[in-house]
A = this chain, B = another copy of it.
Amino acid sequence: MSAVSTPEAKNEPSRREQLLTIAAQLFAEKGFRNTTVRDIADAAGILSGSLYHHFDSKESMVDEILSTFQEALFAQYDDILASDDNARSKLERAVRVSFEAIEEHGPEVAIYQNDADYLVTFERFGYLADRNTQSRQVWLTLLEEGVRTGALRPDLDVTLTYRFIRDTVWVAVRWYRPGGQHDHTEVADQYVRILLDGISS
């Protein structure tokens, strides 16, 4: 009964966290709506009813998964915006942070990419729309600063560019696999190079 024997004190994930990790993998693989509570319970080696001892619904599970992840991610963006690097460096850092998120939180990124449109239709997931707006602001700020300071082409359509960056960065979660041929820093390097300098000779 000593505090030292609790999972947290031993730096082990709590049962709750274990279940969320399992659920996140399944949601990412099969989609939120196509993952059943029985799928999650099976993967955890328990019965579906037992899940409801830990969470009051499937929605609560995905909610906790996404909100926890986004809090950490946006803290990193805020750091970048607040830094006094030049525009090009900030843009590079933002790209790198995103690829790092894919490396370290692949399931969370995949769930957001695949299921946010659906989840946003429920009130409790309204924060996903807010985060979306916030993300747009981050990238637009960086791009506009780049144009203003002369680091980026003056004729750049920042809105369209924002979409291209956002899409290409996050959609990499579909093919990027940790431990594969390229690690996430290499992928980020290559992407930054294409984005800034293009592919032509």
User: A residues bordering B, Cβ < 8 Å?
Assistant: 30-31, 33-34, 88, 114, 118, 146, 150-154, 156-157, 160-161, 163-164, 167-168, 171-172, 174-175, 182, 187, 190-191, 194-201
Identical copies in the complex:
2
Q: Are B196 and A153 in contact (CB under 8 A)?
A: no
Q: Are B167 and A200 in contact (CB under 8 A)?
A: no
CA distance A45 to B87 in the complex (A): 55
**B contact residues around A171 at 8 Å (CB):** 167-168, 171
Q: Are B195 and A197 in contact (CB under 8 A)?
A: no
Query: What's the least CB distance linking A144 to chain B, in Å?
Result: 12
**B contact residues around A199 at 8 Å (CB):** 146, 152-153, 156, 161, 195-196
Residue picked from A150, A163, A196, most chain B C-beta under 10 Å: A163
Given contacts A33-B33, A33-B34, A195-B194, contact A164 B160 (CB under 8 A): no
**B contact residues around A156 at 8 Å (CB):** 199
